Structure 1
């Protein structure tokens, strides 16, 4: 687009908050937010940098979405950046996006919470509090009976499903309700999601009052809580997160940039104590070969040697929006320098968050510590890129590792661990009890079939991984690939054998140098999958039956306390009499009995 084309498009836009996208054919080049869409889009007729000028020239259209508030514009911008990964934005690479509510394009529309809405669906959101959204959607279904099943389950039914019996659906599939009446209920749901709170709050209030009159106080209390959630759903800023007072929680951010990668280290202090540390990787805007020299010259003139538009300030602004939009905001955020984004500043101020750039004292020391953490991690994504290149796959940012553990076929379990950008993502760990059998290949096949079915049936809330790592050799890998083929889940899989640390693929084996960063990455994933599987196996083994069950004086509660205190029967066996007596409910005689029984 040329300057006049941008100005002409801007003149047609409203002076309202919203989000705009510069597009080239079907590709999103850049996503931005605005308090005033007309004014902000119009400013691109005279871009301030060579890189943005090149982006505008490449674009052949500008799409916009109007929002009710500036906060909603912030959330929608972050959601679109994560969804489209536009090359001219700074992008937080944590694979998360924000939940939306969609009504499918269907004769009997389905209501669904999703992070990846269908193009043809009617979509509401994004929202930051998934728990709140789930409560509201359940209330909508109970009130208006809109179905939540997939189109596959809806088709060809001859009788209603359990949701009908539970009052969650009016069963349009079997015409227990005619489609015209069902459509009216869907319209009521749309009206609520568009902001008409009373259309759901009023029936809930009546139901709550009726329950109270019937002295069904537990039901009334549940309805009261649900009503409060519904009434807060369309509050100021839509779904903005509220912070608590007196700066009990303070986040400290540090940034390091290397090439096209940036790392933000976040430290969390609560009540004056450091309680959490984590690092996040962001991808700076892709370099444009045609304007590299111009961009470098402009950066030099501005005194900015960092990669990306605005360097550290741009990374901070992008991180704050994309990270905190779906998490509870702290009471204060300490930064190494100002982020310089007026909309982000207005949002944080409205939420009561104090933003400071400390120059000295304890706060400055915390910022220095965050900077050291960021510098320690910057560039780590290189090992993911090296692994992807070595295996000739598109990406290896998100890896899931699998292992099985059992004791001669007893208490068989499987582990599924997740690494993102080389770091463990423990919130995405999963584990599975397996059918007891002394066959590692069948156990691995069963574990991968379980994971694959959850993925293809959309029952797993995690993104699909870029790579699956199997703990084992050719046999385990073939078993895993058989399961993937049977289910139809198309994800690359490799194995790492412990003996010679050889990487096994379907076509060949690799023997990489011991100091290869991409081998170290696979080893960390493999070792963590093994640790997690063994830990779960020990738990299951101890839960099923232990020799403690036969010890006189040790009942279920005492057994539970012993295992809780020592972790496993083996550790109980190694405990001293003094250690055993330290467990509540165990006296000297019982301790001696346990010791004698376990050592016998």
Structure 2
């Protein structure tokens, strides 16, 4: 559409508020805008203010419009149409990610845990950006106050306390080792910590650290010091929330930043003086737009279908009188703080918005999907055996998504046909070496376990037992489900974070199977006593049937399918092994 075409079409439009749409020859919506005076606003496109707008006008073939009663209606209609048509020349909201929370469940004996999907009726704290730090704090709270972390299934009908009780991180209310009243007091202490009375945790930790140092138990003192540092850092993050207990206003804090060709808006939501929700929203942004345009697009698109907070704090002025008037009419105070606690909140929102990630960034996508810090170093674990014989474990390392083969490790494990116990032993071995300073590799940011919920539970039991604070997840083979302590994720087949986990899982499996075959071939077996069976033939038999028991169960026909096994040798094998 040329300049004359724009002016001609504008002359036909009314001088009323409403929205206008530039459309191409296929009736695809290229751009949606709002206007107080439709005729004047559309006429301004005859002299485009940027090359991008000039290109859009040139592509357009028609201009459609809708009249509204008020400017506010035009604003909301614009937001809805942008969501519906996703026009390429508008800044448009795409998706959002959530962060982990801490919940105390609504049970007679509450459970404490990290989650992204709180249970109905639970008391929820957070969200938090550093899941690893949160888990350190939860472990410290459980060591001091003994709150349970087990599932309802494990809690019910127990005859004796579980391993958590033996390790001193649970007071075992399940078997009456603590009274309901005393357990309730411990729950109240934990609530007081999350509500800002941090001394209920830092004071006992500091006393324990000083006591260990006085007894010259320096390793324990150092461990307690690290926990205290993590707790104080956690408290520092939490304190950036509005801490005035008398404040009852709801507040949304917005921070925007660019990630390549897209923009991210981080939203922090505070109620009653505490942060209760954080999320990240991705917006598609045409070339040439700045962060002010991101705020202008996000606010109406996000809040058009949601309940308003009492105030919105932005890192930058959206510079839109219609948005300001709309929010003011709804009783929302929009402002850009320059200093003080509100400015600190805005800085936190900006920090979250600038956190690395993106569809083409596997590590960033994984961090966003799991709600953790970017895991630059990841280790994978798998176990391989033949019906409990020649049991081995693999431990592979990936740095910046690439295999770091110099850091691969492998271990012979106890002979048993128990995948969970085998995984527990393997992870305990790695964790113990790390905690004792006997492993020359850096601590990883994430562990990936080959298996499902059972294997993950075994690995986490080992981590808790040793006190190695590293997050762990599992990847199940059959349906490629990602299992975490918070839940199960079924990511799309083309998700970049899933591809990364699959590579790590598959490499751990390959390395475990390779070592298992080597160990299995080295083990002395009953086949050594069979005449005519040399080392190479024995290897072929074990590879074909998996174990001596498998060879014993094979038919004569199956035995003869192995290279080097004729009819007479097959008969000899059957006679000697049975």
TM-score, scaled relative to structure 1:
0.37
Larger Rg over CA atoms: 2
TM-score, scaled relative to structure 2:
0.38
